[in-house]
A and B are shown apart, each in its own frame.
Chain A
Amino acid sequence: MESAVSVRGLTRHFGEIHAVDGLSFEVTPGELFGIVGPDGAGKTTTLRMLAGVLRPTSGDAVVQGVSVVRDPEGVKHHIAYMSQRFGLYSDLTVRENIDFYADLFLVPRKARAARLERLYQFSGLGPFESRLAGQLSGGMKQKLGLCCALIHEPQIMLLDEPTFGVDPISRRDLWLIVHEMVARGITAVVSTAYLDEAERCDRLALLHRGALLALDTPTAFQQRLAGHIQSLRSDAPRRARDLLEQHPAVRHAVLFGDVIHLTLDDPRHDWPAVRAALEHGGVTILEAGPAEPSLEDVFIHLVGPGGVTHE
């Protein structure tokens, strides 16, 4: 089956900065494809190029059979693109915004009422139809963004951190909409900085400094560290973390609340020594045991702690 999105050596430089560098991946039709990575990894630049609003320096991406290099305007008929920053008109009402985008995509008048009805159902925006977009909450704004992007019934959604800065309830609602659309056969490419959201995707591309670091299903990612993660709770979590980071057998130690996840090459062999070192350092261990690796564990393992910031 032909790919919905086919990225081939996609590259974009901004002067000296290589925002995206030789990126290649395939997205199969109907897939919920996630792009994750730390800030500055190139997620936004990639999605902008896929949407035809940013010209690649080299390489190409074929979206629904159309090349973004040869025919950037042609791509736009097939996609629903939502930029990271709210991009609708805050001085137009909810309905005026949707109508404007329906007009731009030449959605036939006859089809509109039914589509609007359905979008209002998903988004719960119906009661706010005549409210100015600028007066909506952050979550509502994003839902409106989705409605405007979906009014022409595209085959592919390109969403750039759709839940950025949105409250947890609205985040859940937004993902319900995304899942609903994917269930209808739409392909979705979604970037996110939230790894709990990344777990919802069929496959994940992990970007780091503009390059593809790994591409896998969330489960497969987690399997990469299966058996390497030890979880521990102590009376002095920060001090414990600092001690662990200095220990030669510990690959990574990450604090989640008051629980530390540490990655060890061979827990069975290394753990007793690590434990002894902690207790020697004056840390009382309250609870410890093997743990399921989270995506965060894996990504920190792959990217290194602090992502791009440590260089």
Chain B
Amino acid sequence: MSLPRLWAVARKEIVQLRRDARSLYLAFILPLILLVLFAYAITYDIRNIEMAVLDHSLTSESRSLVDAFESSGYFTVVTHLTRYDEADAVLGGGHARLVLVIGPSFALDLAARRRTPVQLLLDGADANSATIAQNYAEAIVAGYSADILLEGRQLQIPAAAESRVWFNETLESRNMIVPGLVAVIMSIIAAMLTALTIAREWERGTMEQLAATPVHRLEVVLGKLVPYAGIGLFDVALAATVAVVLFGVPLRGNLLLLVLLTLLFLIGALGLGIFISAAVKSQLLATQVALMSTFLPALLLSGFIFSIATMPFVLRAISYIVPARYYVTVTRGIFLKGVGVDVLWADATAMVIFAAAGLSLAMGVFKKEIA
């Protein structure tokens, strides 16, 4: 192992990178684009749900129920219907996702202290949004009913749950998504970055010449890894800045811990990329393998979108070998919860193992030999 030689390989890699627009794009532009795109696209928060109202009652009571919907901030009344069959057209055409139907006897029933049903028609094509809209709507109707019951009275409710949400107080789904997103994006980018490096040397015929020098395999692997680790750290720093500044995500934990664990994660992911590159010796194939082996697992099995706890046993078992799983926990933990090594030690250990595995795989398969 000679540091000057390692540094020579790293410097060469940096010069080549600087002159290669495609790699620069991959290293610096793509992560940002992905971050912003995904952060805006993936959101579980539903606001301004378009709704239609079919009010057969047309009384001040029915209007105040509609007002309760509108003033909640979750619903926007886009149209008032006059006939029941219009609901079908409105929902089918996608003009509204919810129709509130108020019966003609609404005000009379209320005055007589009778139960009076209101009907909610929901567009279930997007089951997720429909469920959320339904929950919101039921909560609004329940609140409205309670107001009527309590009108002019004092009621003591014996036990009431007073919930307070920690770590993501406003239950802003973006707060949950962005830190995880940083982890998912870096899994993909890191492997893609180094997937090109060794394969490119084989394809361009430069490996044969390099192999005929006394440079050690470890010097080549680390020399190629170092510049990309720097870029990866820069990317994460940039993404964190965007997360905090643009998306208002809180960053509560220890920055140094984040940097350290990120570095471990990057070593593993970059090593994996080198491993793939050295194994397949073709840039095109290496890129595809890197993408396939990181993108889907990182997206689906990291707990980023779907909670791992609710997965079937087999998927849960597989998720343990998806490095992004640990890194998602780390970024969320440090960004939102501000937790330290006392909580993240298991994930940190997994990162160390991952880093060692990535490097060993790369070293195991990269040979200074032809054929």
Expressed in whole angstroms, the Cα–Cα distance for A96 and B11 within the complex equals 10
Task: State whether the Cβ of A114 lies closer than 8 Å to any Cβ in chain B.
Answer: no
Expressed in whole angstroms, the Cα–Cα distance for A88 and B12 within the complex equals 12
Residue contact A92 to B212, C-beta cutoff 8 Å: no
Expressed in whole angstroms, the Cα–Cα distance for A51 and B370 within the complex equals 11
Residue of A nearest to B215 (CB): A104
Residue contact A106 to B4, C-beta cutoff 8 Å: yes
Q: Of B7, B204, B211, B214, which one neighbours A105 at CB under 8 angstroms?
A: B214
Task: State whether the Cβ of B205 lies closer than 8 Å to any Cβ in chain A.
Answer: yes
Which of A77-85, A166-174, A263-271 forms contacts with chain B? A77-85
Binary contact track B5-25/A, C-beta < 8 Å → 1, others 0: 101110110011001100000
Expressed in whole angstroms, the Cα–Cα distance for A105 and B2 within the complex equals 11
Residue of B nearest to A80 (CB): B212
* Chain A min CB distance to B202 (Å): 11
Contact size range, B:
20 to 34
Residue contact A54 to B209, C-beta cutoff 8 Å: no
Task: State whether the Cβ of B369 lies closer than 8 Å to any Cβ in chain A.
Answer: yes
**Given A103-B5, A104-B8, A106-B4, does the pair A87, B208 have CB atoms closer than 8 Å?**
yes
Task: State whether the Cβ of B371 lies closer than 8 Å to any Cβ in chain A.
Answer: yes
Expressed in whole angstroms, the Cα–Cα distance for A118 and B2 within the complex equals 27
Expressed in whole angstroms, the Cα–Cα distance for A86 and B206 within the complex equals 8
Residue contact B212 to A91, C-beta cutoff 8 Å: no
Residue of A nearest to B19 (CB): A91
Residue contact B12 to A87, C-beta cutoff 8 Å: no
Q: Of A14, A82, A91, A106, which one neighbours B2 at CB under 8 angstroms?
A: A106
* B212 surroundings in chain A (CB, below 8 A): 51-53, 76, 79, 81, 83
Expressed in whole angstroms, the Cα–Cα distance for A240 and B215 within the complex equals 58
Q: Of A53, A88, A96, A104, which one neighbours B206 at CB under 8 angstroms?
A: A88
* Chain B min CB distance to A89 (Å): 6
Task: State whether the Cβ of A100 lies closer than 8 Å to any Cβ in chain B.
Answer: yes
Residue contact B15 to A92, C-beta cutoff 8 Å: yes
Interface size on A, residues (CB 8 A): 31
* A234 surroundings in chain B (CB, below 8 A): none
Task: State whether the Cβ of A43 lies closer than 8 Å to any Cβ in chain B.
Answer: no
**Given A83-B208, A85-B208, does the pair A104, B370 have CB atoms closer than 8 Å?**
no
Task: State whether the Cβ of A48 lies closer than 8 Å to any Cβ in chain B.
Answer: yes
Residue contact B205 to A86, C-beta cutoff 8 Å: yes
Q: Of A54, A87, A104, which one neighbours B5 at CB under 8 angstroms?
A: A104
* Number of A-B residue pairs at CB separation under 8 A: 78
Task: State whether the Cβ of B56 lies closer than 8 Å to any Cβ in chain A.
Answer: no
* Chain B min CB distance to A66 (Å): 12
Q: Which of A35-54 contact B (CB under 8 A)?
A: 48, 51-54
**Given A53-B369, A90-B204, A91-B19, does the pair A103, B209 have CB atoms closer than 8 Å?**
no
Task: State whether the Cβ of A25 lies closer than 8 Å to any Cβ in chain B.
Answer: no
Residue contact B368 to A53, C-beta cutoff 8 Å: yes
**Given A100-B8, A103-B4, does the pair A53, B16 have CB atoms closer than 8 Å?**
no
Residue of B nearest to A77 (CB): B214
Task: State whether the Cβ of B154 lies closer than 8 Å to any Cβ in chain A.
Answer: no
Residue contact A87 to B4, C-beta cutoff 8 Å: no
Residue contact A53 to B8, C-beta cutoff 8 Å: no
Task: State whether the Cβ of A122 lies closer than 8 Å to any Cβ in chain B.
Answer: no
Task: State whether the Cβ of B213 lies closer than 8 Å to any Cβ in chain A.
Answer: yes
Q: Which of B198-257 contact A (CB under 8 A)?
A: 204-216
Expressed in whole angstroms, the Cα–Cα distance for A106 and B6 within the complex equals 11
Chain B CB count within 10 A is highest, among A48, A51, A54, A104, for A104
* Chain B min CB distance to A233 (Å): 44
Residue of A nearest to B212 (CB): A81
Q: Of A77, A88, A105, which one neighbours B209 at CB under 8 angstroms?
A: A88
Task: State whether the Cβ of A279 lies closer than 8 Å to any Cβ in chain B.
Answer: no
* A76 surroundings in chain B (CB, below 8 A): 212-214
Q: What are 12 A-B residue pairs whose CB atoms fall within 8 Å in the complex?
A: A48-B370, A51-B212, A85-B205, A87-B209, A91-B15, A91-B16, A91-B20, A92-B16, A101-B213, A104-B214, A105-B214, A148-B209
A54-B370, A87-B208, A89-B16 are known; give 8 further A-B pairs, CB within 8 A.
A48-B208, A52-B212, A54-B369, A86-B205, A100-B12, A103-B4, A103-B5, A104-B8
Closest 4 CB pairs of A and B: A87-B209, A103-B8, A81-B212, A85-B205
